Structure formats: C-alpha cells, structure tokens
C-alpha cells in the first residue's frame, strides 16, 4: 500500500498560523513551568526571620520537669502552697525558616514573625545570645530574692546570702548572717571584705564575727584558695548588701529559660513560700515582668503571646507591667483578668484586693 505524505504547513489551510500558535503555547508552558519552579524555590529558601509563639508556663510554687522544686527554701520549712503563680515564656524558632513558613506565621493569630536580628543581634552568635539571656535570668533571680525578702521586712545589711556546699564556711556561716569582721578587721562592705581576704593566706584559720538573729556569733573558718587569677583567700560564701533572712533561697529553671522577665513571679513565689499571707487562695495566677532589688516592676517583650499561654494553661488572673499597657489593650484573651502592676508591693496589694472583691488597676 502506498504511503501518503503528511501534509505540510504550507499544504494545510491556516497551517502557518497553527505552527506559530504552537510555538507561543510552548513558550508560555515553558515560562509557566520556570515560574512555578522559581516560586517554589523562593518559598522554600530560608529568610532572615524567626517565629515567636506562646511558650510553656511554669508554676513557681511547683516543680520542674525533673521533679525539682522551682523555689527551694534551705534552712526553714516552707509554707504549704496549693495555688499557682506561673511565670510565662515566649518560644522562638532557632532553626532557619522558609518564606512559606514566615507567610504562614503572619496569618496565625498566635504567632509573630519578626526579623532575626531583633532576637539575635548582628555580630552576636546564637550561643552568645543564649549565654547573655541565661546571665540576665540569673541576675533577675537575685533581684527577685532581694525584693521579696525586703518586702517581707527582713533586716537590711551586708552579709551572707549563700554558703558553698562542702566549702570552708559550710556548717559555720549561714545565709542571713550579717558580717562584722574577718580576722579581726572590719568586713561590713564588699570593698572592706575584699581588702581583708586579699591579705590572707589559704589554709589559715581566721575568726569571722557575724550578727545572727540579733546575737553576736564568732566562728573560725579556714580560708581556701581563691578563684583563678585572684589574690589572697576565700570564705566560700556569697555576699550582698541586701535584706538578710535566716535561710537560703535557691531558684531553678536556669537551664530551661532565659531573660529577666520572670523576676516578678519569682518574687511573689518566694513570698508565698515563706511569708505569713496566702497570696493565691488556691487561684491560678500568672504574670510577667522584670524586677529590681527595690521591687520596681519593668516591661517585657511578647506580652500578647504570654497572655495567650497563660489563658491556655488555665490562668484567671494575669499580672502585667504598667509599661506594657499599650501592648495589652485590645489583645487580652477573653476571660483573663489582666491587672496592671508597677511594683512588687503593688502586686501583693492587688492580689489581696481581688480576694476581697475590691477594685484593682487595669490597663
């Protein structure tokens, strides 16, 4: 059978137009595929942003995930506590996120997308930032302890706030001891104590005079070698010019969270553990805020996310720094009573007022 030749474009009516159209269609298809590939690549490429979301909350009156008390009182029996005084946190993505993830985060009501540089400053590694946050957290714990003990009216002075376990002063000096002299020389300030210790030889027993619960006490302590590059000797104690209590406050969570924003809730937790007034009355109270040694409460970041975290956990009352009121307005979760505080003393008075059904300040 003879084979007929296929018709060429010239032989088919409109053939040239059809060939030209086919080329345009092919070009459009190729361009569309390239666009889709580039679009998908753009969505999956990392972008310099991080996602913030509501983080875990921790009851300062309870225990951490390992079962250790978050606030440990050494030297006296703490009060029995049944309520909640939860500190709140914000979770931050540590891994790089894609443009798609950032776009999805912008659409979520409980996530915030911010430039990575606002969390991890340029020129600073993530490790360095984490180390600074840990140091800020530890400093806030010291301030919280000082503020709580002063609010509880413990006497102020320069003295012992911690004793190194198995150190030279273990069993001889106690937290709350007000220093009077070391080796017969005045030691009533950090400068004076440092001057005395710099002249002592490690391994030498020296008399240490303190005032303990209103009584003069003298004990011999064999001083030991100081930290590297330091001169003289050491007693193995932590000292401060602060309000001194006859017990030690040991605060946890240092390996789990960072930053200074837990100060207020730690201070309230300490007061609940050793004070004479029940601040929670079995209620679920949460909050946030920095604190200094005088009890002043300062603003923090991410408060909208922290309020969401508190509400999800079951809080009915949330203590918010007065400096965050502009962030709180129109962002308060339904059913959460947000109380404005500017000091530890004010927060205590507000909690007592709520229990009595009295009005308290709000943003």
On the 0-12 / 13-18 / 19+ scale of CB atoms within 10 A, 140 is: buried
Euclidean distance between CA atoms 285 and 157, whole angstroms: 32
In the prediction, which pLDDT does 8 show?
Answer: 43
On the 0-12 / 13-18 / 19+ scale of CB atoms within 10 A, 66 is: exposed
Contacts of 217 (CB under 8 A, 6+ apart): 177, 209, 210, 211
Euclidean distance between CA atoms 171 and 123, whole angstroms: 46
The hierarchical CATH code for the domain 156-244 is: 2.30.42.10
In the prediction, which pLDDT does 336 show?
Answer: 95
Q: How many beta carbons lie within 10 A of that of residue 183, not counting itself?
A: 18
Euclidean distance between CA atoms 158 and 156, whole angstroms: 7
| Cβ contact 281:355 at 8 Å | yes
Q: Is 46 in a helix, a strand, or coil?
A: strand
Reported CATH class of domain 54-95+125-152+249-355: alpha beta
pTM score above 0.85 = no
DSSP code of 26? H
Euclidean distance between CA atoms 216 and 209, whole angstroms: 7
Q: Is 139 in a helix, a strand, or coil?
A: helix
Q: How many beta carbons lie within 10 A of that of residue 83, not counting itself?
A: 16
> How far lies 208's CA from each of 172, 175, 196, 223, 334, in Å?
9, 14, 11, 11, 58
Euclidean distance between CA atoms 137 and 5, whole angstroms: 86
In the prediction, which pLDDT does 9 show?
Answer: 41
In the prediction, which pLDDT does 21 show?
Answer: 58
Euclidean distance between CA atoms 320 and 286, whole angstroms: 9
In the prediction, which pLDDT does 45 show?
Answer: 63
| Cβ contact 193:239 at 8 Å | yes
Q: What are phi and psi of 289, to 5 degrees?
A: 140, 140
Residue spans of the domains in the chain: they are 54-95+125-152+249-355, 156-244
Per-residue pLDDT of the chain (363 residues; tens, 9 = 90+): 444 444 444 444 555 655 555 766 666 766 666 667 655 655 566 778 888 899 999 999 999 888 889 999 988 899 999 899 999 999 888 777 777 677 777 677 788 888 888 787 887 777 887 788 888 888 888 889 999 999 999 989 999 988 888 899 999 998 889 999 999 999 999 999 999 999 999 999 999 999 998 889 999 999 999 877 678 899 999 898 999 888 888 888 877 788 889 999 999 999 999 999 999 999 999 999 999 989 999 999 999 999 999 999 999 999 999 999 999 988 899 999 999 999 999 999 999 999 999 999 998
């Amino acid at each position: 059978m003879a084979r007929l030749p296929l018709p060429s474009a010239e032989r088919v009516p409109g053939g040239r137009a059809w060939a030209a159209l086919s080329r345009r269609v092919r070009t459009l298809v190729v361009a569309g595929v390239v666009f889709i590939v580039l679009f998908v690549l753009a969505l999956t490429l990392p972008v310099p942003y991080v996602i913030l979301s509501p983080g875990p909350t921790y009851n300062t009156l309870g225990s951490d995930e390992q079962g250790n008390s978050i606030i440990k009182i050494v030297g006296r029996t703490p009060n029995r506590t049944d309520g909640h005084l939860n500190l709140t946190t914000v979770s931050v993505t540590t891994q790089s996120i894609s443009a798609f993830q950032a776009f999805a985060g912008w659409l979520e009501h409980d996530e915030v997308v911010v430039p990575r540089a606002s969390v991890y400053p340029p020129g600073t590694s993530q490790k360095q930032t984490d180390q600074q946050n840990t140091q800020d957290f530890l400093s806030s714990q010291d301030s919280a302890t000082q503020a709580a003990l002063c609010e509880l009216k413990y006497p102020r002075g320069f003295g012992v706030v911690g004793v190194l376990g198995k150190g030279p002063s273990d069993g001889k000096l106690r937290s709350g001891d007000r220093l009077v002299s070391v080796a017969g020389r005045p030691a009533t300030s950090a400068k004076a104590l440092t001057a005395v210790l710099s002249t002592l030889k490690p391994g030498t027993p020296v008399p240490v005079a303190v005032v303990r619960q209103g009584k003069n006490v003298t004990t011999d302590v064999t001083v030991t070698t100081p930290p590297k590059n330091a001169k003289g000797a050491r007693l193995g104690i932590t000292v401060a010019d602060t309000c001194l209590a006859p017990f030690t406050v040991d605060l946890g969570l240092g390996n789990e969270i960072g930053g200074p924003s837990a100060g207020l809730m730690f201070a309230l937790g300490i007061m609940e553990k050793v004070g004479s007034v029940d601040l929670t009355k079995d209620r679920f109270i949460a909050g946030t805020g920095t604190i200094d040694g005088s009890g002043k409460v300062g603003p923090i970041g991410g408060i909208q996310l922290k309020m969401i975290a508190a509400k999800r956990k079951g809080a009915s009352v949330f203590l918010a720094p007065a400096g965050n009121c502009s962030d709180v307005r129109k962002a308060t979760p339904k059913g959460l009573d947000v109380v404005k505080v500017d000091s530890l003393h004010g927060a205590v008075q507000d909690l007592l007022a709520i229990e009595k059904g009295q009005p308290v300040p709000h943003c």
